[in-house]
Amino acid sequence: MGGMNQEETAVRVEREVLEERGYACRRLLGEGAFSRVYLVESRVSGERYACKVGKNVSLAKREAGMMARAHHPLFPQYCGLWQEAGFSFLLMEYLPGSSLEDALIRRGRFSPGQTVRVGMELAEGLCCLHREGLLFRDVKPANIVIRQDGRVGLVDFGCVCGVREAACSRAGSPGFAAPEQLAGPLPEPLSRQGVLPLYGVSGAEAAEQTQKEKKLTPACDVYALGQTLKAMLGTGGGKRLLRVLEDCTRRQAEDRFPNMEEVMGALRPLMEKEDKNRDKNKGGSRIGLLCRKSVYEPCVFCRKEWGTGL
């Protein structure tokens, strides 16, 4: 009972601080072991934001620094950070929509065309992140937002780190994190974490292997992206796509696609074929208004034409 009261007190203090700062707390967006994320609204501008509140100030500063370096629409924009009443408050852009995890629970699997489109948008944004010298390390359906405008978003920078500091460590989510990313035995069986029953992702057993510590590369995000797209696709259809995803999720990092440019190069012909079929049938497998522009035109954030050199 005392623990419950302490928790309620913390929530009350968090909301009071937000109110004093001029933000109306609309609802709780999510809650983890060390933080809560609120949907807040500025009483001055009316703009809505997501605010992550936690007690580990050093981690919040680190996460804010990583977020500020992610210059791509896939990721929420960093808006501010402050400390008050023993809590850190990380303010960021709010991406309205629903998580891919919720969509999988509601509707089950996605078509190959929808899977390819989501994969292309994620790969483009992750490629920009990698060019900034950062690894996301926690790509999974729960962190992917299917936005109201049809675009895809990727949230939660808690596991992001620099390539130079990315030694193999306990970061990421079993079932999606690359084998080399999970050093040592898992803290609890995958079945207790609900990973396998929820997604039915094959290959998750590789993450249970004890790995020797070594530097991580963009290939760890390639693996997680492949596992996520497998969860979307399921076992039906898309033989060419499944071959691409197998090349993303090889157990050994050196056997996978080494970077997101190569993933995009493999996915692009599949998406172009899907576009032709959709135009021919005047229908298609787009998710809402999922953006076509970003995967056909040069990425202004990386200043690179994806159609060349892949």
Average of per-residue pLDDT across 19-32 = 94
Euclidean distance between CA atoms 88 and 68, whole angstroms: 16
- Which residue would you say has higher pLDDT here, 304 or 12? 12
Nearest residue to 228 (alpha-carbon basis) of 105, 125, 108, 142: 142
- Tell me how far apart the alpha carbons of residues 147 and 117 are, in angstroms, rounded to a whole number: 14
- Is 203 a residue whose pLDDT tops 60? no
Give pLDDT tens digits for 8-24.
899 999 999 999 999 99
Residue 234 is predicted with a pLDDT of 79
Q: Inform me whether the pLDDT recorded for 235 exceeds 90.
A: no
Q: What is the pLDDT of residue 91?
A: 98
Range scoring the smallest mean pLDDT among 45-49, 131-135, 162-166: 162-166
Give the pLDDT score at 278: 66
Report the half-sphere exposure of 163 (CA within 13 A, side-chain side).
12
Residue located via tokens 């990973």:
195
d(CA 195, CA 172): 12
Q: Which position has the higher pLDDT, 5 or 145?
A: 145
Mean pLDDT of the chain: 81
pLDDT confidence of 5, banded at 50, 70, 90?
A: confident
Provide the b/e sequence for 247-276 (b: ≥16 CB within 10 Å). Answer: bbbbeebeebbebbbbbbbbbbebbeebbe
Which has the higher per-residue pLDDT, 193 or 80? 80
CA atoms in the 13 A half-sphere facing the CB of 300: 3
H or E element, residue 52: strand 48-54
Query: What is the pLDDT at residue 193?
Result: 40
Tokens of 107: 């509707």
pLDDT at 293: 38
> Letter for the amino acid at 28?
L
Angle at 310 between CA 300 and CA 109, to 5 degrees: 85
Q: What percent of the chain has pLDDT over 70?
A: 75
Mean pLDDT, rounded, for 113-136: 96
The letter for the amino acid at 211 is: Q
Q: Residue 28: what are its φ and ψ, rounded to 5°?
A: -85, 125
Please give the DSSP secondary-structure letter assigned to residue 215. Answer: B
